[in-house]
Amino acid sequence: MEFAEDQASSRITLDDGTVLSKCDQCRQTYAERNPPQEPPCESCYVELDKANEEAAMIYRLCQGQVITAGEQIVDINYIAVKTVMDIYGVKNQRRCLGVVARTFHHFENERRKKEK
């Protein structure tokens, strides 16, 4: 069995070559419901613009690297983001950092709203 990153970081390649993505698993789960239902693909799947693929990869790798004050998350760790951008040879680091920071703050704000 081999694991590979995809958009949802959950593609599984079985020993026989069968590839199961998170989407495949979700479709199967909804199909097996009683009565069978259609999965909510429109609200789940996000088609990334080619220009944002690199920033999305950096975000996924760094999203857990945060700065805290007590137990409160304050920001993403920009040093971690810079280090990962260097490792992956990101050319336009200023743009990438901006996209990563905006993405982090978007999801952090969503998380805070759910906690209320």
pLDDT the model gives residue 62: 94
- pLDDT above 90 (res 35): yes
CB burial of 83-115 (b: ≥16 within 10 Å; e: otherwise) equals ebbeeeebeeeeebbebbbebbeeebeeeeeee
- pLDDT above 70 (res 82): yes
Annotated domain spans of the chain = 2-44, 50-115
Averaged pLDDT for residues 24-37: 87
Averaged pLDDT for residues 30-46: 83
Query: From CA 100, how far away is CA 58, in angstroms rounded?
Result: 7
**Mean pLDDT of all residues belonging to the chain:** 84
The tens digit of pLDDT for each residue in 40-67 reads 877 776 677 888 889 999 998 999 999 9
Q: Which residues, 6+ apart, have CB-to-CB distance to 55 below 8 Å?
A: 95, 96, 99, 100, 103
pTM (global) more than 0.95: no
